[in-house]
Structure 1
Amino acid sequence: MKFLMKEHGFETEVEYGNLQVCGDEKYGFRPYQLLVSAIAVCSGGVLRKILEKKRVSFSDITVTTKVERNEKKADRIEKIHMHFVITGSDISEEVIEKCLMVTRKNCSMVQSVIDSIEITESFEIVPNEK
């Protein structure tokens, strides 16, 4: 990837389109937002594939994140908590717990930060509306 300096921040062209990155969110995505997004979306995507392979019936996954930053250390990200809401019928908590363990091991973004950012997960199962 090649990042070009602009008046406000940097930009890069990727397959999907133009990505604007800036410390001021008026002009682009903030770097910490991209890092948290990468971890959450990678985890959600891996979880989706695992559920599909296990033939678990679900219709939706939502991932909500809570981020803890340390102002005294350059506002670094120290903890990311991801809460997964899985919508589906006849899903056991035990199956989701096992799937999340496999997700953690196979998400490249989580594995990339595992020794520097504490990653935690929780989940809830919401039944499909009838």
Structure 2
Amino acid sequence: MDFYLKENGMQVELEYGSLDVSGNEDYGFRPFQLMIASIAGCSGSVLRKILSKQRIKYEDLSINAEVERNPKEANRIERVVLYYAIKGYHLDPDKLSKNLALARKNCSMIRSVEDSIKIEEHLETIELSQ
């Protein structure tokens, strides 16, 4: 990837378009937003793949991320709490928890940062009525 300096940040051209990165949200995505999006996006994609391979049917999967930063250390990301909500019929919470643990082991973004950022995961199953 080739990043180019702009007046208010950096820009990179990618397959799906250009990505603007800036410390100021008026000019692009903030670096910490991209970091959290990478962690949640990777984990969610791996989990979805596992659920698909196991033929586990669900209606919706969402992830909410809470971020704890340390302003005394350059606003360093210290903790990320991921809240997964899976909606569906006849969901098995124990099996889904095991799948989430497997997704964590296979998510390259979590594995890349887990020694420097505390990553916590919580799973909520929402049983839909037919």
Q: TM-score, normalised by structure 2?
A: 0.97
Task: Give the secondary-structure state (helix, strand or coil) at the position aligned to 2:59.
Answer: strand
Q: Number of residues paired by the alignment?
A: 130
- Who is 1:84 aligned against? 84
1:5-58 deviation line (CA, Å, top 9, x unaligned)? 111100000000000000000100000000000000100000001111111111
Taking only aligned residues, the RMSD between alpha carbons, in angstroms, comes to 0.9
Aligned residue runs from structure 1 range 47-66, under 5 A: 47-66=47-66
Unaligned runs of 5+ in 1: none
Measure how far apart 1:125 and its partner are: 1.1
Identity of aligned residues (%): 47
- Which residue identity does 1:125 align to in structure 2? T
Runs of 4+ in 1 over 4 A off after TM superposition: none
Q: TM-score, normalised by structure 1?
A: 0.97
How far apart in 1 are the matches of 2:13 and 2:79? Answer: 30
How far apart in 2 are the matches of 1:59 and 1:75? Answer: 37
- Who is 2:5 aligned against? 5
- Who is 1:118 aligned against? 118
Measure how far apart 1:127 and its partner are: 2.5
8 Å CA contact 2:89–2:129 kept in 1: the answer is no
Does residue 104 (structure 1) correspond to residue 104 (structure 2)? The answer is yes
Unaligned runs of 5+ in 2: none
